[in-house]
Amino acid sequence: DTNTEDGQKKYGHMYTGIDRFAIEHATQASGDIKCDHWHDGTGFLTHHLAMTMSFDLSLRTVDPAVTLPYWDFTLEGERLYRLGQGPSKITEVSPLFTNAWFGSTDELSHVKDSRWAHTSAIRAIVGEKTRRNSYGYVRAPWNNARDSELIRHVTDVCGIEPANKPIPTCFTHFSLTNITSLASWLVNAAGNGHGPVHVNTGGVFGECSGMMSKMYDDHEDLLAQNFTVKGISDMILATTGIDNGWVGTDVYTLKQIVTICSTS
């Protein structure tokens, strides 16, 4: 838990602490409301490679015998797929969410064991133009948690399992190798090939938790109505003037559509 300033005095100028990585990510990516420079576009691969290499170099600065571990999460994704289970079961099939690696979480979404137990959240540096939330923590502006600890609300988005964000499987990553357009590859690598792991390890909670279930109970009749994909497209066109051009005839209840959209 050595910050960058202290670490460079001890290990040299190539050392970078987690405080600086968190600040850079918040400033350039998740904290920029108008433009995320690191995700869902051409900046994804280059920025993540650069950060990974910098992280690895920092580890080697401390101990030349170590390197940054690689998590092949397609192993968990494949196992869940073969078991017919959703992403909420990842903690049951992965060693990473145990005391041996990064720890499990408690009812407060704090890491409760492993060497990372009760890790402190990064505070913004006074005097620097660092992205922060209302309480001075280096978090995205829309993450207004005042919690002083690292938060990991695993596989839960407002009380709902993000079932439409399954952990990538071997097939998911193999499919990326068949994409012939660089632009398409960059979008899909960041999306289907990578993004669901963020959703399932970070999660969303707070006042939204339980509200989806309440809405389902309060509007049961309305949510039971059937719609086709084409019908939805026609309604959007009539309401907004935007023609999505959807022509599918698959039928969904409004509840199914809301569930899909709320966890997208």
pLDDT band at 263, cuts 50/70/90? Answer: very low
Residue 18 shares a structural domain with residue 48 = yes
- Predicted TM-score (pTM) of this structure: 0.79
pLDDT per residue over 167-215, tens digit each? Answer: 999 999 999 999 999 988 988 898 889 999 999 998 888 888 888 778 8
Q: Give yes or no: residues 77 and 202 share one domain.
A: yes
Is residue 262's pLDDT more than 70? no
| Amino acid 249: pLDDT | 87
Region of 121 please: left (phi>0), alpha (psi -120 to 50) or beta: beta
Return d(Cα 149, Cα 53) in angstroms, integer: 26
Distance CA 206, CA 13 (A): 40
* 136 shares a domain with 79: no
* Lowest pLDDT segment from 121-135, 159-173, 185-199: 121-135
Q: Please check whether residues 8 and 132 belong to one and the same domain.
A: yes
Q: Where are the alpha helices (DSSP H) in the chain?
A: 4-11, 18-25, 43-62, 74-83, 90-93, 170-176, 182-190, 195-202, 211-218, 220-223, 229-240, 254-262
- Side-chain half-sphere of 192: how many Cα atoms within 13 Å? 13
Q: Which two tokens stand for residue 124?
A: 């913004």
In a domain, 11, yes or no: yes
In a domain, 115, yes or no: no
Domain membership flag for residue 111? no
pLDDT value for 15: 96
Q: Are both 48 and 159 inside the same structural domain?
A: no
CA-based R_g, the chain, Å:
21
Query: Please, which pLDDT band fits residue 261 given cuts at 50, 70 and 90?
Result: low
Q: How many domains does the chain have?
A: 3
126: Cβ contacts below 8 Å, ≥ 6 apart: none
163/90 same-domain check: yes
pLDDT tier for residue 58 given thresholds of 50, 70 and 90? very high
| 112 part of a folded domain | no
Average pLDDT over residues 249-264: 72
Range of the domain at 167: 71-105+152-209
Asked if pLDDT for residue 53 goes beyond 90, the answer is yes
Residue 96 lies in a domain: yes
Average pLDDT over residues 146-169: 90
Do residue 36 and residue 135 come from a single domain? yes
Q: What is the pLDDT of residue 259?
A: 65
